[in-house]
């Protein structure tokens, strides 16, 4: 018996240490939110909204391919780098831009840091005979955007690659080279230098000098820190020479991210498709095989991993074969991941078609080790939606998805800056969610919306309740346009009850496929609502303006865990059956709608005790 077990024991001892997912929650791609519980207090905010018809400084002059964002926090503010092309991926010209923010909510206009670069006429690639560059601009492609030096100097990096046609790869090791410049205080930048060129590149044709020519010794030293750091260089493998001696793993694994385990020496590496391995010596060598992390679900989009400010760990990624939803999984030790919760569960309509533009929130990256820790100690991540609009999300630490107390928010009475600590928000450039003044001058939650294609959304997670009483005071800013829907949902985001402030000045109740009027409402006048819900009996009682009405749920749920406010109807496109590529623009994609505003003065929820009825 022992002899038979020896090979099994030997195999178990030889099995490499790796990260793995041991939870039971899986996402359902039939829903944009994957039917996942939200990570409580997550604030998702649109940083840039593309608009080709009305280009201006705020939207990057109307270029509609915006993607691959990166984050850093340095000297009291966030830095957000991203790539941009006029229409589609790998279709030149390309450039890299940078935004800044003091608080992660209000952002500057983007500034071009690496401008379009002319490819010399006659440029060719060895594996593509017959294709010759003529009047061609480079495109940019980088997996690492920032580096903070030992002397606390912030550098930003980019890579100029060449796509000879729309299906050519600029990250094939046959491009121009990697550029670097220093980020200076006061919104200024140092000159652009090449940090490393591809070996096939003729340096005599470079438009920028090599970094070693700089007279700033501190800048040169910071550049050489990057070249001497295997974890920095590993992120460059796709674009650099495939035999670059400074890169430890030269195989074509994509979009490397990493974090250190508690001993400070072992490093977990992560790539697309949830490929992973562990380095025992800080990234210098990677002796263990690269494998798919057991039970992680992830496809051809980035996965981000980091140690969080509470000493735990988190990975953020799309847990599906599609680029939705965007979710977070947490771990106590950096190896065993036990849960899966929602970060971003909405897909804005893709307003502009383009080459290789994919639906959904994707290409997530957080703040790399050494690149700063925001004072709120939250986990911050950047990502694009549809490779078109740019977003940032903050997730409170420790990460949790189960509420321990009911809502008791009278916003005017809450401390400044803490009003939305328990709320999840989905806030856009043209549909912001924020704390502001109500018509009577008091403080409240404000949802504005002039976005023709999307909506503002705010959500309060509550303890699981089979019976629920919700009291809320809503002030509609108008009664002749706009829409506010209030839904009561279960843990998976399935609504059972929906109330709508519609464009006819009517508060209505969704009764199956039809709507029933509850009461009329007036612009700028508070409407106090009391909603009593009974999940086992599927009944809802709504009291408004002193009038009480009883309804049946439009869909059954076992219990309630969410109260949601949204300034537009629910979306279901795209689906898993939608074609991957969208070659068309939406009609009047640059238009907006008349501004509608809704205010929430207060929300209180409770779960009344249920007493058994005497037979």
Which residues, in sequence order, are bridge partners of residue 433? 447
What average pLDDT score do residues 369-381 get? 97
- Structure confidence at residue 20 (pLDDT): 98
Q: Quick one: pLDDT at residue 16? A: 75
Is residue 244 a contact partner of residue 177, using CB atoms and an 8 Å limit?
A: no
* Helix, strand, or coil (residue 175): coil
pLDDT greater than 50 at residue 499: yes
Q: Which CATH number fits domain 408-578+587-606: 3.40.50.11260, 2.40.50.100, 2.60.120.560, 3.40.50.2020?
A: 2.60.120.560
**What burial class does residue 571 get, using C-beta atoms within 10 Å of its C-beta: 0-12 exposed, 13-18 middle, 19+ buried?**
middle
Strand order in the sheet with 95-101: 65-74, 77-85, 95-101, 111-114
* pLDDT at 13 (0 to 100): 47
The yes-or-no verdict on residue 22 having pLDDT over 70 is yes
Alpha carbon 610 to its chain's center: 41
Q: What is the mean pLDDT of the chain?
A: 95
pLDDT at 608: 86
Of 236, 206, 207, 210, the C-alpha closest to 223 is 210
From residue 367, alpha-carbon distances to 19, 40, 221, 362 in Å are 20, 20, 22, 16
In the chain, what is the straight-line distance between the N-terminal and C-terminal CA atoms, in Å? 63
The least confident of 3-7, 13-17, 37-41, 352-356 is 3-7
- DSSP structure string for 439-503: TTS-EEEEEEEEESS---EEEEEEEEESEEEEEEEEEES-SSS--EEEEEE-TTS-EEEEEEE-T
Residue from 296, 307, 309 nearest 333 by CA: 307
- CA gap 168, 131 in Å, rounded: 11
Can you tell me whether residue 321 is helix, strand or coil?
Answer: coil
| Residue 456: φ, ψ to 5° | -90, 150
153-178 pLDDT, tens per residue?
Answer: 999 999 999 999 999 999 999 999 99
Among 6-10, 35-39, 389-393, 554-558, the least confident range = 6-10
What is the average pLDDT across 386-408? 98
Answer whether 379's CB lies under 8 Å from 366's CB: yes
Question: Is the pLDDT reported for residue 614 higher than 70?
Answer: no
Report the DSSP pairing between strands 467-476 and 514-520.
Answer: unpaired
Mean pLDDT of 121-132: 93
Say whether pLDDT at 9 is over 70.
no
| Residue 6 structure tokens | 């020896």
> In the structure, what pLDDT confidence band is assigned to residue 545 with cuts at 50, 70 and 90?
confident
Contact 393, 45 (CB under 8 A): yes
Section 321-342 average pLDDT = 98
CA–CA separation, 564 and 456 (whole Å)? 11
Residue 226 DSSP SS3:
helix
Same fold, 15-395 and 408-578+587-606: no
Q: How confident is the model over 106-124, as a mean pLDDT?
A: 97
pLDDT at 92: 98
**pLDDT tops 80 at residue 49:** yes
Q: State yes or no: pLDDT of 15 exceeds 90.
A: no
Region 376-405: mean pLDDT is 98
Residue 496: pLDDT over 50: yes
- This prediction's pTM: 0.95
Q: What is the 3-state secondary structure (H, E, C) of 41-74?
A: CCEEEEEECCCCCCCCHHHHHHCCEEEEEEEEEE
Instruction: Determine the Cα–Cα distance for residues 503 and 488; give it in Å rounded to an integer.
Output: 21
Measured in whole angstroms, the distance separating CA 153 from the mean position of its chain's CA atoms is 27
Q: What is the largest CA-CA distance in the chain?
A: 94
- Span 450-474, pLDDT tens digits: 999 999 999 999 999 999 999 999 9
Residue 603 pLDDT > 50: yes
Structure tokens at 47: 């940083």
Predicted pLDDT at 615? 39
| Residue 546's pLDDT band (cuts 50, 70, 90) | confident
The pLDDT of 181-206, averaged and rounded, is 96
Looking at the domain that runs over 15-395, which CATH code has it been given?
Answer: 2.120.10.10
Distance (Å, rounded) from C-alpha 349 to C-alpha 428?
Answer: 13
| Residue 2: pLDDT over 60 | no
The pLDDT value recorded for residue 242 is: 86
**Residue 540 pLDDT:** 97
Length of the chain equals: 615
Task: Residue 301: count other Cβ atoms within 10 Å of its Cβ.
Answer: 24
What tens digit of pLDDT does each residue of 301-319 get?
A: 999 999 999 999 999 999 9
User: Of 352, 415, 420, which is closest to residue 387 (Cα–Cα)?
Assistant: 352
The answer on pLDDT for 410 being more than 70 is yes
Q: What is the pLDDT of residues 237-266, one digit of tens each?
A: 999 998 999 999 999 899 999 999 999 999
Domain layout of the chain by residue ranges: 15-395, 408-578+587-606
Q: Which two tokens stand for residue 202?
A: 């003729």
Query: Is the omega angle on the peptide bond into residue 93 within 30 degrees of 0, that is, cis?
Result: yes
CB 140 within 8 A of CB 103: no
Specify the pLDDT at position 8: 43
Tokens of 442: 């008091």
Number of alpha helices (DSSP H) and beta strands (DSSP E) in the chain: 3, 41
């Amino acid at each position: 018996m022992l002899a038979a077990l020896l090979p099994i024991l030997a195999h178990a001892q030889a099995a490499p240490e790796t990260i793995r997912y041991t939870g039971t929650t899986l996402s359902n791609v039939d829903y944009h939110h994957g039917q996942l519980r939200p990570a409580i207090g997550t604030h998702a905010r649109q940083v840039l909204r593309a608009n080709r018809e009305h280009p201006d400084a705020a939207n990057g002059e109307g270029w509609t391919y915006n993607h691959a964002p990166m984050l850093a926090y340095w000297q009291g503010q966030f830095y957000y780098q991203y790539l941009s092309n006029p229409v589609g991926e790998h279709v030149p010209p390309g450039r890299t831009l940078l935004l800044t923010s003091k608080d992660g909510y209000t952002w500057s206009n983007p500034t071009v840091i690496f401008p379009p670069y002319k490819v010399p006429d006659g440029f060719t690639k060895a594996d593509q005979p017959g294709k010759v560059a003529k009047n061609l601009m480079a495109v940019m492609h980088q997996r690492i955007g920032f580096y903070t030096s030992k002397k606390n100097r912030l550098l930003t990096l980019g890579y100029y690659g060449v796509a000879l046609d729309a299906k050519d790869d600029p990250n094939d090791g046959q491009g121009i080279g990697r550029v670097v410049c220093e980020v200076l205080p006061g919104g200024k930048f140092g000159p652009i230098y090449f940090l490393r060129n591809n070996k096939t590149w003729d340096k005599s044709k470079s438009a920028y000098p090599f970094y070693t020519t700089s007279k700033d010794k501190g800048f040169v030293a910071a550049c050489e820190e990057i070249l001497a750091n295997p974890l920095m260089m590993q992120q460059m493998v796709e674009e650099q020479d495939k035999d670059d001696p400074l890169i430890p793993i030269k195989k074509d694994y994509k979009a490397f991210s990493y974090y250190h385990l508690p001993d400070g020496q072992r490093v977990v590496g992560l790539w697309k498709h949830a490929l992973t391995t562990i380095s025992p010596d800080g990234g210098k060598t990677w002796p263990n095989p690269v494998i798919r992390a057991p039970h992680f679900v992830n496809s051809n989009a980035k996965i981000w991993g980091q140690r969080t400010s509470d000493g735990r760990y988190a990975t953020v990624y799309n847990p599906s074969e599609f680029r939705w939803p965007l979710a977070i999984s947490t771990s106590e030790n950096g190896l065993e991941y036990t849960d899966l919760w929602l970060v971003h569960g909405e897909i804005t309509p893709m307003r502009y078609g383009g080459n290789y533009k994919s639906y959904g929130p994707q290409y997530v990256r957080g703040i790399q080790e050494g690149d700063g820790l925001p004072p709120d100690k939250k986990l911050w991540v950047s990502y694009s939606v549809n490779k078109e609009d740019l977003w940032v999300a903050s997730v409170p630490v420790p990460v949790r998805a189960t509420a321990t107390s009911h809502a008791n928010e009278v916003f005017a009475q809450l401390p400044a800056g803490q009003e939305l600590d328990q709320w999840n928000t989905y806030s856009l450039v043209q549909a912001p969610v924020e704390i502001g003044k109500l018509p009577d001058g008091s403080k409240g939650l404000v949802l504005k919306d002039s976005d023709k294609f999307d909506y503002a959304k705010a959500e309060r997670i509550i303890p699981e309740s089979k019976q629920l009483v919700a009291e809320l005071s809503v002030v509609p800013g108008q009664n002749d346009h706009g829409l506010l829907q209030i839904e009561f949902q279960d843990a998976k985001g399935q609504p059972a009850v929906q109330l709508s402030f519609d464009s006819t000045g009517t508060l209505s109740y969704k009764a199956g496929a039809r709507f029933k009027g509850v009461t009329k409402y007036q612009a700028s006048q508070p409407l106090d609502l009391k909603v009593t819900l009974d999940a086992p009996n599927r009944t809802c009682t709504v009291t408004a303006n002193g009038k009480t009405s009883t309804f049946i749920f439009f869909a059954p749920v076992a219990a309630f865990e969410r109260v949601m406010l949204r300034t537009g109807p629910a979306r279901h496109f795209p689906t898993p059956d939608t074609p991957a590529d969208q070659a068309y623009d939406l009609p009047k994609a640059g238009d907006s709608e008349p501004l509608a505003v809704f205010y929430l003065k207060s929300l209180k929820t409770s779960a009344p005790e249920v007493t058994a009825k005497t037979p």
